[in-house]
Chain A
Amino acid sequence: MIAEFGLAALWLAAALALLQLLAGALSLTSGGEGFGGVVRPVAIVQGILSLAAFAALVLVFSQTDLSVKLVVENSHSAKPMLYKIAGAWGNHEGSMLLWVTIMGLAGGFVALVERRLPEKTMLATLAGQAFVSLGFYAFLLFASNPFARLATPPAEGNGLNPLLQDPGLAFHPPTLYIGYVGLSIAFSFAIGALITREVSPAFARAMRPWVLGAWIFLTLGITAGSFWAYYELGWGGWWFWDPVENASLMPWLAATALLHSCSVLAARNALRAWTVMLGVVAFSMSMVGTFLVRSGILTSVHAFAVDPKRGSFILVLLAIYIGGALTLFALRAATVTEGERFAVTSRESGLVFNNVMLSSVLGIVLIGTLYPLLTEAMGEKVSVGPPYFNPMAALFVVPMLLVLMVGPLLRWRQDNVGRIRKGLIVPAALLVVGVMVAIVIAPGKVLPILGLALAPALAVASLLPLRGRELRRVKLPLWGMVVAHFGIAVSLFGMASDSAFTVEKLVAVPVGGTVDVGPWQVKLGSLEPVAGPNWTALEAELQASYSGATPTMLHPQSRSFWTPPQQTNESALLTRWNGQLYTVLGEQAEDGRWQLRLWWKPFVSLIWLGGALIALGGLLALLGRVWSDLRRIIARGKIADRREGMGR
């Protein structure tokens, strides 16, 4: 019953999306203006219906309704409730339903609150949003129905991949998806602006909060995903340049560039065509990522289903939307008039540099991700990993970070370096000292040296925009920028420190034996069998003491799940202010000793702390923008009231 309700809601939502598209398109024709009034309400109801469909799926999963095919394939009655619910989106069909739900909700939300732009542009934007949604509704309804029933329900489900049974799974995919799909709003705004020829600072100001919102979630999602891979996969690495990770990084790079170019357009009415272009590119990257992950060309923990029909379906959607948007851009770009001019030394130039570098990194990542697919089509199998990505990305990121120290200090339009020279003395000195110190303590490692040297200088430079200001008076968006840029420095330091100073030990020890790793002394205390709701495990007790201090206990496990039968190594982490001790329990050797893999990773947690700071910066900026918009709306209302009062 619930499944049927969900399916009906999904069909209705799809029908409303069609109505939204048609009414929106008609309202743009001469004589069809009357249809415009329907668009906003329809968009809102469509959002609510898609949410209802999603809620139905969650309910079906939480009840473990084994007559629904998707539940049978991905769930099990013995699973803890959190994973039953998370299982609703931990599979192909459910995640696509989440996709359309977020698109619907985002569109509905825009329809509800966004009133700053000319109404025609808004109608074109909402029609564009509906147009994109329709493709994904069709994909769900015709190629991946999440509510399909089984004629004869089995007694028990297949369970969920144990690697995904972790609290991280419950929050990681939805967070990432809100970011991915939230960018669809930027895409639709770009389409709306191109159709109605309304590329203006007002357009940038209207689009910015949506991009910012999506970007915050994307940042959090990537950060959480990296941490999840770090402790769940038990390899001690935090970024693998896995195609699926790249699929989330690419929209982030595009969205970061878009945020910066938006601020140029909003403040100075320059970079007009470029900003629109980035709006199209950012969501296109989300769709490319979805294609890579969902089509089954890649096989990884993230790729749920391998079904060629689905791959070609998504490929067709990609061709229609990306191809269509780029064609529209090509047709209309010439009519977007040139923006305001600026000097070589100006805030605008700094942001242009940022954009060009981010786009280049995006190109590097995109090419590296697609290359194995291309060569495989030609019959040769290759894999592309860190030896390609690390130096190539650094080639563009390092200059970008150097300019980042200067750019925020420059004035709009025209400035001269002499004015800001004084402030830059400290970061420049730090940079020089940093390079020398780093070369001494981590000789021969080029990228870690660069990271270790750049990070402190960048940290100081990122605070400079606050210099000479009264801190209480500093506006939230400026705080946001400072915090986010500071976060980059923090994260960079963590990355560099991890790759420069990590100590790794891989040994076989008898019970009672001790191992030294960095400043730690780790003793294998005992091994005990333990049991969970759907697994049993062997748990080691490790007594770890830091430079002879009182030992702390760690409990890494080697877990055996029984549905599906699979083993995982659950790492155990011990975090101090200056780093993390990472422990993994391996197998028992023939002579009775146990394999232990231990890492001491100085300052590794700064990687994710920095990521969180970057997201926090975005949040501060968003709050600042929304707050000033609200105040403007309230002020306008008051003025209107007063006028009305005087009229009487």
Chain B
Amino acid sequence: MSAIKAKHQRLILVLVAVIALIGAGLLAAWALRNQASYFYLPTDMAASPPAADRGVRLGGMVEKGSITTDADGVTIHFIVSDAKARIPVTFKGIVPDLFKEGSGVVAEGKLGSNGTFVADNLLAKHDEKYVPREMKDMTEAQARAAVKETK
């Protein structure tokens, strides 16, 4: 195998690196459009439901008195709501410690065709230092909404 034409070696190497990196960047941009999971409030989800096979996050309050457990002891159903909409959620698993009725939750999963959100992970407030990013803002916004309503 002959050595590459001496003069152009550096140029070729630079081109290879640049093309690979740009390629990686373009691929990343394309994949992110398809794979990033968007955050929905119940109102948003009711107004414009995401496609059935798309992973999204749903954040809201766990409605009081809505948690029920199936006979298997590990599947739960509850309703996530905000001021305007209510979305039923199903989750199979061990719930986070601070998951309870009347407090905030972010559910990761997919919206089923029957309108029930099937969560494969629940994020609840852990302590003051560990709040899911979306929920921090959400509770603030809800506090404002609550203030408005009581006025």
User: B-contacting residues of A (Cβ < 8 Å)?
Assistant: 161, 163, 234, 271, 274, 298-301, 304, 338-339, 341-345, 352, 355-357, 359-361, 363-364, 367-368, 371-372, 375, 380-385, 387-388, 391-392, 395-396, 414-416, 506-508, 564, 566-569, 584, 586-587, 589-591, 593, 595, 597
CB < 8 Å neighbour of B20 from A338, A356, A566: A356
Contact with A along B9-47 (1 / 0, CB 8 A): 110010011001101110111011001111100000000
| Bound CA span A123–B29, Å | 43
Q: Are A341 and B6 in contact (CB under 8 A)?
A: yes
| Bound CA span A414–B21, Å | 26
Q: Give the Cβ gap from B147 to chain A, nearest Cβ, in Å.
A: 23
Contacts of B4 in A (CB 8 A): 341, 343-344
| Bound CA span A355–B13, Å | 11
CB < 8 Å neighbour of A414 from B3, B28, B29, B94: B3
Q: Nearest A residue to B130 by beta-carbon distance?
A: A301
Considering the complex of A and B, which 5 residue pairs feature the smallest CB-CB distances, nearest first? Answer: A508-B73, A586-B94, A567-B97, A381-B39, A360-B24
Q: Are A343 and B2 in contact (CB under 8 A)?
A: yes
Q: Are B130 and A352 in contact (CB under 8 A)?
A: no
| Complex interface residues of chain B between 33 and 74 (CB less than 8 A to chain A) | 35-39, 55, 57, 69, 72-74
Q: Are B36 and A356 in contact (CB under 8 A)?
A: no
Q: Nearest A residue to B138 by beta-carbon distance?
A: A381
B101 within 8 A of partner (CB): no
Contacts of A569 in B (CB 8 A): 94, 97
Q: Nearest B residue to A590 by beta-carbon distance?
A: B69
B149 within 8 A of partner (CB): no
Contacts A343-B1, A589-B69, A595-B94 given; does A381 touch B32 at CB 8 Å: no
Contacts of B132 in A (CB 8 A): 299
Interface size on B, residues (CB 8 A): 47
Contacts A382-B37, A597-B93 given; does A343 touch B32 at CB 8 Å: no
Contacts of A566 in B (CB 8 A): 97, 126-127
Contacts of A368 in B (CB 8 A): 28, 32
| Complex interface residues of chain B between 100 and 143 (CB less than 8 A to chain A) | 126-134, 136
Contacts of A388 in B (CB 8 A): 31-32, 35-36
Can you list 5 A-B contacts with CB-CB less than 8 angstroms, sorted by A residue number? A345-B1, A371-B32, A384-B32, A507-B72, A564-B128
Q: Are B74 and A507 in contact (CB under 8 A)?
A: yes
CB < 8 Å neighbour of A387 from B55, B95, B131: B55
Contacts A299-B132, A371-B36 given; does A395 touch B27 at CB 8 Å: yes
Q: Give the Cβ gap from B50 to chain A, nearest Cβ, in Å.
A: 12
Q: Are B73 and A507 in contact (CB under 8 A)?
A: yes
CB < 8 Å neighbour of A341 from B3, B37, B97, B130: B3
Contacts of A344 in B (CB 8 A): 1, 4
| Bound CA span A435–B24, Å | 26
Q: Are A387 and B13 in contact (CB under 8 A)?
A: no
B77 within 8 A of partner (CB): no
Contacts of B39 in A (CB 8 A): 381-383
Q: Are B130 and A161 in contact (CB under 8 A)?
A: yes
| Bound CA span A399–B134, Å | 37
Q: Are B92 and A360 in contact (CB under 8 A)?
A: no
| Bound CA span A359–B38, Å | 28
Q: Are B36 and A341 in contact (CB under 8 A)?
A: no
Contact with A along B79-96 (1 / 0, CB 8 A): 000000000000011110
Q: Are A304 and B69 in contact (CB under 8 A)?
A: no
Q: Nearest A residue to B40 by beta-carbon distance?
A: A381
Q: Give the Cβ gap from A462 to chain B, nearest Cβ, in Å.
A: 24
| Bound CA span A414–B4, Å | 11
Q: Are B73 and A591 in contact (CB under 8 A)?
A: yes
| Bound CA span A495–B77, Å | 33
Apart from A360-B20, A569-B94, what are 13 other A-B pairs with CB-CB below 8 Å?
A: A274-B17, A299-B136, A356-B17, A364-B28, A367-B25, A371-B32, A371-B36, A375-B36, A381-B133, A385-B35, A388-B32, A414-B1, A587-B94
CB < 8 Å neighbour of B27 from A161, A163, A298, A392: A392
Contacts A341-B6, A382-B36 given; does A587 touch B95 at CB 8 Å: yes
Contacts A368-B32, A381-B38 given; does A416 touch B69 at CB 8 Å: no
| Bound CA span A584–B69, Å | 19
| Bound CA span A355–B36, Å | 27
